[in-house]
Structure 1
Amino acid sequence: MQKITVQQIRSSFINASRSEAARLNPPQDFDTLDWDRLDFLGWRDPKMPLRGYIVFAPDGGKPASIMLRAPEGGARKNRSVLCELCRSVDAPNDVYLWVARRAGQSGRNGNTVGTLICADFECSANARVEPPANEIHPDPAAVVLNQIAGLGARAAQFLSRVRE
């Protein structure tokens, strides 16, 4: 992902008002992010923990940001679920049903779309974990490249669902 500024993020929201975008708090480590290892930027608002943000910049294009809401009380502890974006089987983190207002008039009418995403948006890191070499996957580096491509495709699909 290309490096972007907080102002670019604020101006790229497709489902938030200008005042909501102006109130966002960037991630605490924003100035030290390793942009080369991010497929999208996602974080939970440190001052509003039920609010999350995802910024996509498909193929280095213009960024598109989405404001999300997490469920009150967090994830249910009686079952494990798979993140729809990274689909990491071995991820140690929780997965939440994050919900986003749809863009445009549909969102103003109260329509939303939701998907299961890692609670703290660790998807880019999860996709880069190399599996052990075995008969099925003799080249772990190729598996990682495939995981990264899948993450990008599924993130773009979620973005298009919010835009509908």
Structure 2
Amino acid sequence: MNPLTENDIRTSFVNCSKGEARRLGLPGGLSGSPWSDLDFLGWRDPGAPERAYLVAERGGEPVGVALRLAQEVRRSFTKSTLCSVCLTPHSGTGVALFTAPRVGAAGRQGNTVGAYMCADLACSLYVRDRKQTELGTRFESLTVAERVARAAANLDAFLERVLDGKLR
């Protein structure tokens, strides 16, 4: 992913107002982000933990979506759950349901799209083995490049549903 500035991030959002995009809490240390290891920039709002944001490149341009964390359901720590983007297994609350308002009239009517994703939105780091889950090493026969491509396709499918077929 190409490095993003604060302005790039704030102007990329497609499913919230410009005012909301100006007020959202950005992740700390943007300049120190591992951009070459990121397929998207995802973070939870430090001031409002039920809010999260994701910025990915589509068509060579950054596209940001505002997310809401669905009410957390208590899960057993003995069962694992898979992220629908990177397919990384997590135990307990390592995966969360995030919902995003759809773009345009559908979003204004309250229509949302949801996906179970890594609760810390670090999918890019998990598929590259730069970060480990509490379950340890993944057991897959896919190469890192194949895992990256799969995660990118899954993220793109989610964004396509949020964008409702519109690039911007």
Question: Under TM normalisation by the shorter chain, which class is it?
Answer: 0.7 to 0.9
CA RMSD of aligned residues (A): 2.2
Q: Which has the higher helix share?
A: 1
How many aligned positions are there?
A: 156
Aligned to 1:64: 63
C-alpha distance in 1, partners of 2:7/2:58? 18
What's the TM-score once normalised by structure 1's chain length? Answer: 0.87
Residue 45 to residue 34, structure 1, CA distance change in 2 (3 Å): same
Q: How far has the Cα of 1:75 moved from its partner? A: 4.3
Q: Deviations over 1:3-33 (max 9, x none)?
A: 1111111111110111110111111122210
Distance in 2 between residues matched to 1:121 and 1:44, nearest whole Å: 8
The aligned residue for residue 43 of structure 2 is 43
SS of the residue 1:49 aligns to: coil
Unpaired runs of at least 5, structure 1: none
8 Å contact from structure 1 (residues 91, 126) kept in 2: no
Give secondary structure in 1 for the equivalent of 2:115.
Answer: strand
Matched residues in 1 for 2:44 and 2:2: separation?
A: 20
Partners of 1:75 and 1:94 within 8 A in 2: no
Which residue of structure 2 lines up, in the alignment, with residue 76 of structure 1? 74
CA distance in 1, matches of 2:102, 2:70: 17
Q: Percent identity?
A: 39
1:1-164 aligned within 5 A: 1-58=1-58, 61-72=60-71, 74-78=72-76, 79-89=79-89, 94-129=94-129, 137=141, 143-164=143-164
The 1:154/1:132 distance shift into structure 2, 3 A limit, reads closer
In 1, distance between residues paired with 2:44 and 2:92? 18
Distance 1:146 1:48, change over 3 A: same
Aligned equivalents of 2:62, 2:94: Cα separation in 1: 27
Which amino acid is the alignment partner of residue 47 of structure 2? K
Over 3 Å counting, the alpha-carbon distance change for 1:17 and 1:86 in structure 2 is: same
Name the SS for the 1:42 alignment partner: strand
